[in-house]
Structure 1
Amino acid sequence: MKPKTKFAGLRTRLQTLLAVTALTLVAAAFPAAAADRTDPPSPHTDGPTAVARARVAADVLMGSYDPGKAWFPSSWWNSAVALQTIGDYMQRTGDRRYLGQLDNTFEKDKGVFPAGVLSGDPLLGNFTSRAIDDSEWWGLTWIQAYDLTRDPKYLDMAVTIANYVYGYWDSSTCGGGVWWNAERTYKNAITNGLWIRLTAELHNRIHGDTLWLNRSRTAWAWFRDSGMINADGLVNDGLTDACTNNGQNVWTYNQGLAIGGGLELWRATKDPAILATVKRLADAAIGPNGLVDDGTLTEACDATDQTCDDNGKQFKGIFMRYWTDLVDTTHDRRYADFLGTQADIVWNKDRDAAGRLGTRWSGATSDDHPNVFDWRTQASALSALVGAVPTPAPLLSLAATLSPAQPVVMPSASGSTTIPVDLGTSATGFFPLLALASVDTPSGWSASPRATLVRLHPHGNAMPASRSVPLTISVPSSATDGHHLVTANLMAAGLRFATQADVLVAHSIDFDTGTVAENPWLFDPDHSQSNGVQNRFADGNAHFTYRFPFPADTTSARVTLTIDAEFVVQVSADNENWTTVLQEDRPITDGSNKADRSIDLTPYLGNGADGSKPVYVKVSDSFPNDGWGGRVYHVTANIVQ
C-alpha cells in the first residue's frame, strides 16, 4: 500500500475544514427555522435523487416481507408482483441487498401447499394453482430473478410454469386464448397479456428458441383480434360467453400488460406493426378518454367514494412497470414526461412521513374512503419511482430517513418533553462522503444536535453504505394538539435529500382503526390487516400493538376498545413482559360479541427513556386456527394528571 502523500493529507484537512465551516454557518442560521419550508419541486427529479427516493420506498416495502413464510402477508399473486417490483428496483439501481429474499421465496414456496397457507387456493407446486394468471405472475418473477443472477434454476422454473399455463390455451373456444382459471370459465385480458409477455421473455432468453416465439406470436395475433381492445384503443376486462368484448372496466394493469407483451414480442421480431399497436395502446391510455385524471394515473376505484380492493391496489404499478419499458424502448419524450410526472406526483402528494405510499397517487382522501397505505400500495407506487431512475443509474446518491417517522407526544402539564429520533443516512458511490445533516423544528421546539457531520463510506451501488445518527427533539409543554413537522436535511457532494418526522402532539386519545388517525399510535402492526375504516384484525399468529406514551405526570389511565371476534388483549409497560387483561373464550365469528371494553392501565404505567409513562396494548387471536382473530374498531383513552 502506498503511503499517503502530504497532498492527500492536506486535501483531507481541507475537506474537514470546509465541512466544519459549513456546519457552523448552518447552525448560526437556525434561530427559528420553519419546519414546513420546502423548495419548489422541479418538473422532474434529478437522477441521484430518483435513486434515493426509490431506495427509501423499496426499504419500506421490504419491511413488510415475512422471511418465515417467504412472502408478503395474505396475498399470493400480489406477493409475486411485489417481489418482481423489488427485482426491477435492484436491476435499475444496482442495489443487490434483496437477492437473498428472492431466493428465500423460491426455495421455501416452490412446494405443494393446502388452501389457506399461502393462497386461498391449493398450490400445486412450482408456483402453480387453479388461478392461471397467478401462475403467470410467478413465472415473470422468476425470469426477473434470472436476469439479476443468471442462475438457471429461475429460468427453468419459469419454463415449468409456462408449460403448465400452456395446458390452458384452448383454440376450441373463441378461436384461442388462455383460460383465466382451471375451471375454464373466462377468457380475459390479464391472463393473455401475461401469456404474451411470459412467452416472449422466455424466447428472448433461451438461445435458439422457436417454440416460445411461435406461441407468443400466436397469442399476440389472437389478442389483437379478439375484440378486447375497444374502438378507443383501451383494453376491456375480457370476453363474453359469445366471444365478444364484455365492456367491463378498463383496468390499468390490463392496458399495461397489453403494452408490455407487445414490447417484448417486438424485441423478438422487430415487427413494426407490433410496435405501432403498442403505441396506439399507449396513446389511448394517456389520451382524453384514457386512464389519467388531472395528470395523474387513476384507477376507477380511486374515486373518493370508492375503495380499491387488495387486487386493485396494485394495478397502477403494473401499468408503470411496462410504461417504463415503453420509455426505455421508444425514447419518446411524451412517454418519458408522463413517467417522470407520475413519479413526482407519487413522491410529493402520496407519501406520508414514514415513507409509505398510498393507493391514490393524487393523495385524495375522504372520511368514509380514506387513502389506504399498505405493502400492496407501496409496491405499486414504487414502480413509478423505479421508472424515474435513469439508465445507467447514477453512481452517487444520498438518502435520509427519520425514525420513528410518526412519533406521538402527550405533553406533561409543565416542562418540555423530549423525543429520541434516529436519523438514518445512506449513500452509494465509490468515495467517502462527509455529509452535513441539519434539523429544522417548529418555532419554540429545539433539536440536539441541530447540525452534525456524518461520514459515509460507500463501495459502489450493490450495498449502499448506511449510518444512524441519534437526535433529540424537545417539545415544549405549550405545543398545541395536532401534527408538527420536523425536517432533516442531508447534504454532501452537491447532493441534497430531505426527510421529515410527523410529530403528533395529543392530550387525548380517540381514533378509528383503519384510518390515518390510527397510524401514530400503531407501534407494531405485525401481520395484522385492515380492510377499511373501523377495521383492524389479527388472525392466526398475527397481532397488532398500540403504544400510548402517557405524560410523565400521569397518575391513572384507562383505555376503551370497541372489539369483537376471537380476541386476546395483553398489556405491558415495556413491550416485553405481558399481562392478559381480556380474552374471548368462545369461537365467535359473527360479530355478536362486539362491545366497548375498558381496561385500567394504571398498574402498567411504564418509565420511558423520553420521560413518558408508556403503555403497550397488544391484540391477537384466541383461536388461531380458524381465521377469526381479534378485531378492533375504535380506541379511546382517558388519563388523570
Structure 2
Amino acid sequence: MKFSLLSILALLLPLTAAQTQNATASVTDPTDRAELALTALQTFYNESTGLWLGWWQSANAMTVVANLAKVDSNPKIQSLAAQVFANTVAKAPAHNIDPNAEPPLKKKRKRAMSGYDKGYDENGIPFTTLPKGWGEIPSAHIRGRANAPAFDPYSWLDGFYDDDLWWALGYIAAYDVTKKAEYLTLSEGIFNAVARVWPSSCGNGGIFWNSKKNVVNAIANELFFSTAAHLANRASDANTYANWAVKSIDWFVATGMINNASLINDGLTSAPDCKNNGLPTWSYNQGVILGGLAELYKARPNSTYMNLANRLAKASIEGIANKAGVIQDPCGPLCGADASQFKGIYMRGLQAVYAMNPDPSYAASIKTNADSVWANDRNAKNQLSIQWAGPFIGTANSTTQSSAMEALIAAIVVK
C-alpha cells in the first residue's frame, strides 16, 4: 500500500524556498536534499507490512530514517520517524522472512524450511532466494507467526545472524531518536540471542553467518562487534557489552580478514583452514567496522581503536572509490537488492569516524559522494539510483534510495 498515511506525512513536509525549485534545479543545502530524498523514500514504504523492500534491507531503511532524524530537528521529520518506528515494530514481525529459523533454546524443534536463502554466485556476487509468497498481503509463507509479539527478540530472528543484527542496530537508532526504552531492550535481546552461537569454528571466536553454521564471514562478525559497541554506550550493563566488543574486534583482527591493503575481504575459508577467502572488498564491510570502532572508542577510549578506524577509513576512501572519489562496488552498475544497499552503509560508518576524528579527508569524501548523488544519480522525482557517479540508470527502489540517502545525511554533519 504505497502512499500510505505515513508516506503522505512525508509528502506534506514543509518546503523551504530552495526545495520549491523545479526538481531538476540545483538544491545545495544538505538538509533540503535529504528531506526531499526522504519524501521519495517513503513512497516505497508499505504501511501494511511495516517494510520497504526486503527484510534486512528494511532494517537499513528504518536506520536511515532514524539517522536523518538525529541530525534534522524539523518537527515533521521527528514525527514521521517516531511513527515509522512504531508501525514497523508492530507490523513487520508478522512478515519475518523465516520466522521459525531460530526458536528459543527451550523450544528447539525440527522445522520446515521457508525457502529463504542467501549465497554467492561464481563471481562472488551476493544473491537472495525469497520464500514463495513473501511480501504478499497476507504473506503466504507465515507459519503461525501472524501475531508475533513486537518486542520479543525472537520475532526478528530469521536464521541469518547478519539480518538479526541489522534489526538490532535499527532499533538502537530508533532508541537514539525517541529514547523509548523498549527499542533498546529489543536490541539487547536480539544481540544476546545471537551471542549464544559464539564461538565459530575459526580461531575459537566469532560467529557463523547463519544457523547452518558452515560459513564465517566478515559482515556477520562486524555487525556483532558493532552492535555490542553501540550497546556499551547505551545499555545499563555497559561493561558486559564493552567486553563483548573488545573480544570480538580482537578476534576479527587476528583472523586475517583485513588484507595487506587494509581493506576487508568477504570472509574466511572453511575450517580448519580459516584463511582470508579473497572475495570482494564490499563497501559495507569497510563501513560497519568503522561505526563499531567509533562506538567502542567512546566506551573504552583507547587509541588502538581510533588508530585502527583511521587506518581503515583512509584505506577505503582510496581503495573502493573511482578516480573522482565516488564510492563503487565491484558488481556495478546493477547489483541486485543485496549489494545495492552496501554503499550507504559505508557512508554511515565514515560519518561515525568523522564524528570521532573530523579529518578533512573524511569530510571531502562525504561531500564528493553526496554532491555526485544529487547531481548525477537523481531523477525528476528525487529518486536515487544505484550508480552514484551517474548517470541515473534502471529504476530506483528503497534499497538504492536509502543507500544513497546515507551520503546526503552524512553531508549534513560535515557542511
Q: TM-score range by the shorter chain?
A: 0.7 to 0.9
The answer to whether 1:244 aligns with 2:288 is no
8 Å CA contact 1:196–1:220 kept in 2: the answer is yes
Aligned length: 342
Q: Of residues 295, 301, 306 in structure 1, which corresponds to 2:325?
A: 295
* Distance across 1 between alignment mates of 2:350 and 2:45: 26
Partner of 1:100: 83
The answer to whether 1:333 aligns with 2:360 is yes
* Distance across 1 between alignment mates of 2:83 and 2:194: 27
Bigger mean CA offset, 245-254 vs 317-326: 317-326
8 Å CA contact 1:360–1:371 kept in 2: the answer is no
Give the AA of the match of 1:62. Answer: Q
Distance 1:273 1:121, change over 3 A: farther
The answer to whether 1:84 aligns with 2:107 is no
Bigger mean CA offset, 225-234 vs 119-128: 119-128
Partner of 2:235: 206
The offset of 1:259, in angstroms, is: 1.4
Partner of 1:197: 226
The offset of 1:268, in angstroms, is: 0.9
The answer to whether 1:373 aligns with 2:402 is no
RMSD: 2.3
* Distance across 2 between alignment mates of 1:359 and 1:390: 23
Q: Give runs of aligned pairs for residues 26-425 of structure 1, distance below 5 A.
A: 45=28, 49-73=29-53, 75-94=54-73, 95-96=77-78, 97-110=80-93, 113=96, 115=114, 116=131, 117=134, 125-170=154-199, 172-241=201-270, 242-287=273-318, 289-303=319-333, 307-364=334-391, 370-390=393-413
* Distance across 2 between alignment mates of 1:137 and 1:171: 20
TM-score, normalised to structure 2, is: 0.78
* Distance across 2 between alignment mates of 1:109 and 1:57: 23
Give the AA of the match of 1:349. Answer: N
The offset of 1:390, in angstroms, is: 3.2
The offset of 1:173, in angstroms, is: 3.0
Identity %: 32
Give the AA of the match of 1:81. Answer: N
8 Å CA contact 1:111–1:125 kept in 2: the answer is no
8 Å CA contact 1:252–1:291 kept in 2: the answer is no
* Distance across 1 between alignment mates of 2:398 and 2:303: 38
8 Å CA contact 2:200–2:216 kept in 1: the answer is no
* Distance across 2 between alignment mates of 1:325 and 1:246: 28
Give the AA of the match of 1:105. Answer: T
Q: Give runs of aligned pairs for residues 479-494 of structure 1, distance below 5 A.
A: none
Residue by residue, what CA displacement relative to the aligned partner does 1:132-172 show, whole Å, maximum 9, x if unpaired? Answer: 10000000001111111111110110011001110221155
SS at match of 2:337: coil
Q: For structure 1, which runs of at least 5 residues remain unmatched after alignment?
A: 1-34, 394-641
Partner of 1:593: none
8 Å CA contact 1:292–1:298 kept in 2: the answer is yes
Give the AA of the match of 1:185. Answer: N
The offset of 1:87, in angstroms, is: 0.7
* Distance across 2 between alignment mates of 1:208 and 1:308: 40
Q: Give runs of aligned pairs for residues 492-503 of structure 1, distance below 5 A.
A: none
Distance 1:256 1:185, change over 3 A: same
8 Å CA contact 1:110–1:125 kept in 2: the answer is no
8 Å CA contact 2:218–2:266 kept in 1: the answer is yes
Distance 1:296 1:37, change over 3 A: closer
Residue by residue, what CA displacement relative to the aligned partner does 1:147-205 show, whole Å, maximum 9, x if unpaired? Answer: 11111110110011001110221155332111100010111110011111100111110
8 Å CA contact 2:266–2:279 kept in 1: the answer is yes
* Distance across 2 between alignment mates of 1:321 and 1:59: 20
Which has the larger strand fraction? 1
* Distance across 1 between alignment mates of 2:180 and 2:23: 48
Distance 1:286 1:163, change over 3 A: same
Residue by residue, what CA displacement relative to the aligned partner does 1:546-595 show, whole Å, maximum 9, x if unpaired? Answer: xxxxxxxxxxxxxxxxxxxxxxxxxxxxxxxxxxxxxxxxxxxxxxxxxx
Residue by residue, what CA displacement relative to the aligned partner does 1:182-241 show, whole Å, maximum 9, x if unpaired? Answer: 010111110011111100111110235221111110000011111000000000000001
Highest RCO, 1 vs 2 (Cα 8 Å, sep ≥ 6): 2
8 Å CA contact 1:203–1:268 kept in 2: the answer is yes
Q: Give runs of aligned pairs for residues 16-35 of structure 1, distance below 5 A.
A: none
Partner of 2:4: none
* Distance across 1 between alignment mates of 2:39 and 2:176: 21
Give the AA of the match of 2:403. Answer: S
Give the AA of the match of 1:68. Answer: S
Distance 1:36 1:268, change over 3 A: closer
Give the AA of the match of 2:90. Answer: E
Give the AA of the match of 1:192. Answer: N
The offset of 1:300, in angstroms, is: 0.8
Residue by residue, what CA displacement relative to the aligned partner does 1:59-95 show, whole Å, maximum 9, x if unpaired? Answer: 110111000011114x100000011111101111122
Q: Give runs of aligned pairs for residues 476-625 of structure 1, distance below 5 A.
A: none
* Distance across 1 between alignment mates of 2:24 and 2:95: 54
8 Å CA contact 1:343–1:388 kept in 2: the answer is yes
Give the AA of the match of 1:243. Answer: C
Distance 1:293 1:181, change over 3 A: farther
